[in-house]
Homo-oligomer: A and B are copies of this chain.
Amino acid sequence: MEPSTLETVLTAVAAGRLTVAEALDRLKPPEVRWDHDRRRRRGFSETVLGTGKTFDQVLEAVETARERPVLVTRVDPAWGPELERRVPDAVHHPVARAVTVGPLPPVRTGPPVAIVTAGTADRPVAEEARLTLRVAGIPTEVVYDVGVAGIHRLFGVLDTLRRARVVICIAGMEGALPGVVAALLAVPVIGVPTSVGLGAHAGGFAPLLTMLNSCAEGLAVVNIDNGFGAARLAQLIWQTAAPPEEA
Protein backbone atom coordinates (compact mmCIF):
# COMPACT_ATOMS: atom_id res chain seq x y z
CA MET A 1 0.00 0.00 0.00
CA GLU A 2 1.14 3.50 -0.70
CA PRO A 3 2.25 5.29 2.52
CA SER A 4 0.48 8.42 1.34
CA THR A 5 -2.86 6.62 1.09
CA LEU A 6 -2.40 5.26 4.57
CA GLU A 7 -1.65 8.73 5.91
CA THR A 8 -4.73 10.22 4.29
CA VAL A 9 -6.98 7.59 5.76
CA LEU A 10 -5.45 7.84 9.24
CA THR A 11 -5.83 11.59 9.17
CA ALA A 12 -9.47 11.22 8.25
CA VAL A 13 -9.99 8.79 11.09
CA ALA A 14 -8.26 11.13 13.49
CA ALA A 15 -10.52 13.93 12.31
CA GLY A 16 -13.61 11.82 12.76
CA ARG A 17 -14.44 11.94 9.06
CA LEU A 18 -14.10 8.18 8.82
CA THR A 19 -15.17 5.47 11.26
CA VAL A 20 -12.72 2.69 12.00
CA ALA A 21 -14.82 0.27 9.97
CA GLU A 22 -14.83 2.63 6.98
CA ALA A 23 -11.09 3.07 7.33
CA LEU A 24 -10.48 -0.67 7.41
CA ASP A 25 -12.59 -1.03 4.27
CA ARG A 26 -10.61 1.68 2.46
CA LEU A 27 -7.32 0.19 3.51
CA LYS A 28 -8.06 -3.39 2.44
CA PRO A 29 -6.03 -4.35 -0.59
CA PRO A 30 -7.80 -4.15 -3.95
CA GLU A 31 -8.94 -7.59 -5.11
CA VAL A 32 -8.86 -6.81 -8.81
CA ARG A 33 -5.83 -5.20 -10.41
CA TRP A 34 -6.47 -4.30 -14.06
CA ASP A 35 -3.68 -4.65 -16.56
CA HIS A 36 -4.56 -1.31 -18.20
CA ASP A 37 -1.42 -1.53 -20.30
CA ARG A 38 -2.45 -4.71 -22.08
CA ARG A 39 -3.92 -3.10 -25.21
CA ARG A 40 -0.78 -1.07 -25.86
CA ARG A 41 1.47 -4.04 -25.20
CA ARG A 42 -0.43 -6.96 -26.74
CA GLY A 43 -3.05 -5.44 -29.05
CA PHE A 44 -6.10 -6.35 -26.96
CA SER A 45 -7.36 -5.35 -23.52
CA GLU A 46 -7.61 -7.63 -20.51
CA THR A 47 -10.54 -10.05 -20.23
CA VAL A 48 -12.41 -10.99 -17.05
CA LEU A 49 -12.28 -14.75 -16.39
CA GLY A 50 -15.24 -15.76 -14.23
CA THR A 51 -13.79 -19.04 -12.96
CA GLY A 52 -13.21 -19.02 -9.21
CA LYS A 53 -14.40 -15.43 -8.78
CA THR A 54 -17.41 -14.35 -6.77
CA PHE A 55 -20.16 -12.35 -8.45
CA ASP A 56 -19.03 -9.26 -6.59
CA GLN A 57 -15.48 -9.63 -7.82
CA VAL A 58 -16.70 -9.95 -11.42
CA LEU A 59 -18.90 -6.90 -10.96
CA GLU A 60 -16.00 -4.93 -9.47
CA ALA A 61 -13.82 -5.95 -12.41
CA VAL A 62 -16.39 -4.85 -14.98
CA GLU A 63 -17.02 -1.56 -13.21
CA THR A 64 -13.38 -0.63 -12.83
CA ALA A 65 -12.47 -1.40 -16.44
CA ARG A 66 -11.33 1.69 -18.30
CA GLU A 67 -12.23 0.43 -21.77
CA ARG A 68 -15.25 -0.84 -23.66
CA PRO A 69 -16.10 -3.49 -24.80
CA VAL A 70 -15.30 -5.76 -21.86
CA LEU A 71 -15.48 -9.51 -22.35
CA VAL A 72 -16.33 -11.70 -19.36
CA THR A 73 -15.81 -15.44 -19.93
CA ARG A 74 -16.94 -18.54 -18.01
CA VAL A 75 -19.79 -16.79 -16.28
CA ASP A 76 -22.09 -18.74 -14.04
CA PRO A 77 -25.46 -19.18 -15.84
CA ALA A 78 -27.17 -17.27 -13.04
CA TRP A 79 -24.84 -14.29 -13.34
CA GLY A 80 -25.67 -13.42 -16.94
CA PRO A 81 -29.16 -12.00 -16.33
CA GLU A 82 -27.96 -10.33 -13.13
CA LEU A 83 -25.11 -8.59 -14.96
CA GLU A 84 -27.53 -7.51 -17.71
CA ARG A 85 -29.71 -5.98 -15.00
CA ARG A 86 -26.96 -4.15 -13.12
CA VAL A 87 -24.48 -3.14 -15.82
CA PRO A 88 -25.49 -0.82 -18.66
CA ASP A 89 -24.80 -2.32 -22.10
CA ALA A 90 -24.16 -5.81 -20.72
CA VAL A 91 -25.27 -8.65 -23.02
CA HIS A 92 -25.39 -12.26 -21.91
CA HIS A 93 -24.33 -14.95 -24.44
CA PRO A 94 -25.49 -18.15 -22.74
CA VAL A 95 -24.12 -20.72 -25.23
CA ALA A 96 -20.70 -19.08 -25.10
CA ARG A 97 -21.02 -18.79 -21.29
CA ALA A 98 -19.94 -15.15 -21.66
CA VAL A 99 -21.05 -11.57 -21.18
CA THR A 100 -20.01 -8.58 -23.26
CA VAL A 101 -20.29 -5.01 -22.01
CA GLY A 102 -20.41 -2.10 -24.41
CA PRO A 103 -20.67 -1.74 -28.18
CA LEU A 104 -18.67 -4.14 -30.33
CA PRO A 105 -16.30 -2.84 -33.01
CA PRO A 106 -17.07 -3.36 -36.70
CA VAL A 107 -15.89 -6.62 -38.25
CA ARG A 108 -12.77 -6.16 -40.35
CA THR A 109 -12.49 -7.39 -43.93
CA GLY A 110 -10.25 -10.24 -44.98
CA PRO A 111 -10.22 -14.02 -45.00
CA PRO A 112 -12.10 -15.30 -41.94
CA VAL A 113 -10.96 -17.47 -39.08
CA ALA A 114 -12.73 -20.78 -39.72
CA ILE A 115 -14.05 -22.51 -36.62
CA VAL A 116 -14.83 -26.17 -37.14
CA THR A 117 -16.10 -28.70 -34.59
CA ALA A 118 -15.98 -32.49 -34.62
CA GLY A 119 -19.24 -32.86 -32.77
CA THR A 120 -22.45 -31.06 -31.96
CA ALA A 121 -21.57 -31.07 -28.28
CA ASP A 122 -18.45 -28.99 -28.86
CA ARG A 123 -20.60 -25.97 -29.64
CA PRO A 124 -20.06 -23.98 -26.38
CA VAL A 125 -16.31 -23.98 -26.98
CA ALA A 126 -16.84 -22.89 -30.57
CA GLU A 127 -19.15 -20.10 -29.48
CA GLU A 128 -16.62 -18.83 -26.93
CA ALA A 129 -14.02 -18.67 -29.68
CA ARG A 130 -16.39 -17.02 -32.14
CA LEU A 131 -17.51 -14.38 -29.64
CA THR A 132 -13.95 -13.60 -28.57
CA LEU A 133 -13.01 -12.97 -32.21
CA ARG A 134 -16.20 -10.96 -32.77
CA VAL A 135 -15.30 -8.70 -29.85
CA ALA A 136 -11.90 -8.17 -31.49
CA GLY A 137 -13.46 -7.40 -34.87
CA ILE A 138 -12.04 -10.46 -36.62
CA PRO A 139 -14.30 -12.18 -39.21
CA THR A 140 -15.25 -15.83 -38.58
CA GLU A 141 -17.02 -18.70 -40.31
CA VAL A 142 -18.34 -21.64 -38.27
CA VAL A 143 -18.81 -25.26 -39.39
CA TYR A 144 -20.24 -27.86 -36.98
CA ASP A 145 -20.12 -31.63 -36.65
CA VAL A 146 -17.61 -32.90 -39.23
CA GLY A 147 -15.86 -35.57 -37.10
CA VAL A 148 -13.68 -38.29 -38.57
CA ALA A 149 -16.31 -41.02 -38.03
CA GLY A 150 -17.84 -39.72 -41.29
CA ILE A 151 -14.81 -38.18 -42.92
CA HIS A 152 -16.59 -37.33 -46.20
CA ARG A 153 -18.39 -34.61 -44.22
CA LEU A 154 -15.00 -32.97 -43.79
CA PHE A 155 -14.24 -33.11 -47.50
CA GLY A 156 -17.55 -31.34 -48.12
CA VAL A 157 -16.36 -28.27 -46.20
CA LEU A 158 -12.73 -28.31 -47.27
CA ASP A 159 -13.15 -25.37 -49.61
CA THR A 160 -14.50 -23.30 -46.74
CA LEU A 161 -11.46 -24.17 -44.67
CA ARG A 162 -9.04 -23.41 -47.52
CA ARG A 163 -10.46 -19.91 -47.86
CA ALA A 164 -9.69 -19.15 -44.20
CA ARG A 165 -6.55 -17.39 -42.96
CA VAL A 166 -6.45 -19.48 -39.78
CA VAL A 167 -8.47 -22.52 -38.71
CA ILE A 168 -9.61 -23.33 -35.16
CA CYS A 169 -10.48 -27.00 -34.96
CA ILE A 170 -12.38 -28.19 -31.88
CA ALA A 171 -12.76 -31.86 -30.94
CA GLY A 172 -13.58 -34.01 -27.93
CA MET A 173 -13.71 -37.81 -27.84
CA GLU A 174 -10.40 -38.98 -29.37
CA GLY A 175 -9.62 -35.57 -30.87
CA ALA A 176 -8.32 -36.79 -34.22
CA LEU A 177 -9.94 -34.11 -36.37
CA PRO A 178 -7.38 -31.28 -35.95
CA GLY A 179 -4.54 -33.51 -37.17
CA VAL A 180 -6.53 -34.67 -40.18
CA VAL A 181 -7.55 -31.09 -40.99
CA ALA A 182 -4.03 -29.70 -40.58
CA ALA A 183 -2.66 -32.38 -42.91
CA LEU A 184 -4.92 -31.07 -45.68
CA LEU A 185 -4.28 -27.34 -45.40
CA ALA A 186 -1.53 -24.79 -45.96
CA VAL A 187 -2.70 -22.41 -43.22
CA PRO A 188 -2.08 -22.53 -39.46
CA VAL A 189 -4.47 -24.82 -37.57
CA ILE A 190 -5.19 -24.46 -33.85
CA GLY A 191 -6.44 -27.62 -32.12
CA VAL A 192 -8.73 -27.30 -29.10
CA PRO A 193 -9.40 -30.51 -27.17
CA THR A 194 -12.71 -30.55 -25.31
CA SER A 195 -14.00 -32.27 -22.22
CA VAL A 196 -16.79 -33.92 -24.22
CA GLY A 197 -16.22 -37.64 -23.99
CA LEU A 198 -16.83 -40.89 -22.19
CA GLY A 199 -14.92 -43.49 -20.20
CA ALA A 200 -11.17 -43.26 -20.60
CA HIS A 201 -11.46 -39.72 -21.92
CA ALA A 202 -9.91 -38.40 -18.72
CA GLY A 203 -11.67 -35.06 -18.82
CA GLY A 204 -10.13 -34.10 -22.14
CA PHE A 205 -6.59 -35.37 -21.61
CA ALA A 206 -7.18 -38.04 -24.26
CA PRO A 207 -7.85 -35.60 -27.14
CA LEU A 208 -5.18 -33.26 -25.75
CA LEU A 209 -2.55 -35.99 -26.05
CA THR A 210 -3.84 -36.90 -29.49
CA MET A 211 -3.31 -33.36 -30.75
CA LEU A 212 0.11 -32.95 -29.13
CA ASN A 213 1.29 -36.21 -30.69
CA SER A 214 -0.22 -35.56 -34.10
CA CYS A 215 1.97 -36.55 -37.00
CA ALA A 216 0.50 -33.63 -38.93
CA GLU A 217 3.20 -30.96 -38.97
CA GLY A 218 2.56 -27.55 -37.55
CA LEU A 219 -0.53 -28.02 -35.39
CA ALA A 220 -0.86 -25.49 -32.53
CA VAL A 221 -2.49 -26.81 -29.37
CA VAL A 222 -4.20 -24.92 -26.55
CA ASN A 223 -5.73 -26.02 -23.25
CA ILE A 224 -8.82 -28.23 -22.93
CA ASP A 225 -12.08 -26.34 -23.68
CA ASN A 226 -10.05 -23.16 -24.18
CA GLY A 227 -12.05 -21.54 -26.97
CA PHE A 228 -11.00 -18.14 -25.67
CA GLY A 229 -7.28 -18.89 -25.85
CA ALA A 230 -7.63 -20.37 -29.31
CA ALA A 231 -9.36 -17.21 -30.46
CA ARG A 232 -6.63 -14.96 -29.04
CA LEU A 233 -3.97 -17.02 -30.80
CA ALA A 234 -5.99 -16.91 -34.03
CA GLN A 235 -6.30 -13.15 -33.65
CA LEU A 236 -2.53 -12.70 -33.27
CA ILE A 237 -1.90 -14.88 -36.32
CA TRP A 238 -4.63 -13.11 -38.33
CA GLN A 239 -3.06 -9.75 -37.51
CA THR A 240 0.32 -10.97 -38.73
CA ALA A 241 -1.06 -10.42 -42.22
CA ALA A 242 -3.23 -7.45 -41.27
CA PRO A 243 -1.83 -5.49 -38.32
CA PRO A 244 -4.33 -3.62 -36.12
CA GLU A 245 -2.94 -0.28 -37.32
CA GLU A 246 -4.15 -1.05 -40.82
CA ALA A 247 -7.74 -1.48 -39.71
Contact = CB atoms under 8 A, between A and B. Distances in A.
**Number of identical protomers:** 8
Contacts of A184: 41-42, 151
A180 interface: yes
B186 A41 contact: yes
Interface stretch (A7-15, A18-26, A46-54, A101-109): A46-54
A137 interface: no
Interface-centre pick from A188, A200, A214, A222 (highest chain B CB count, 10 A): A200
Given A215-B148, A221-B222, A225-B198, A233 B174 contact: no
Nearest to A211: B174
B186 A179 contact: no
Contact of A37 (B38, B152, B174, B228): B152
Contacts of A70: none
Contact of A217 (B119, B148, B149, B151): B149
A62 interface: no
Given A31-B120, A176-B210, A179-B148, A220 B217 contact: no
B237 A223 contact: no
A236 B225 CA distance: 24
Nearest to A209: B206
Contacts of A146: 33
Looking at A43, A143, A213, A232, the one whose CB has the most chain B CB atoms below 10 A away is A213
Nearest to A121: B52
Given A29-B143, A224-B198, A210 B206 contact: yes
A206 B222 CA distance: 15
Given A41-B184, A173-B213, A198-B226, 17 more contacts: A33-B144, A42-B217, A47-B217, A51-B197, A52-B119, A118-B215, A148-B176, A148-B183, A148-B215, A173-B214, A176-B176, A176-B179, A187-B236, A200-B224, A201-B213, A212-B224, A213-B223
17 contacts: A32-B145, A42-B217, A47-B217, A51-B196, A148-B215, A173-B214, A174-B214, A175-B210, A188-B237, A188-B240, A200-B208, A201-B209, A206-B209, A217-B233, A218-B235, A220-B222, A241-B241
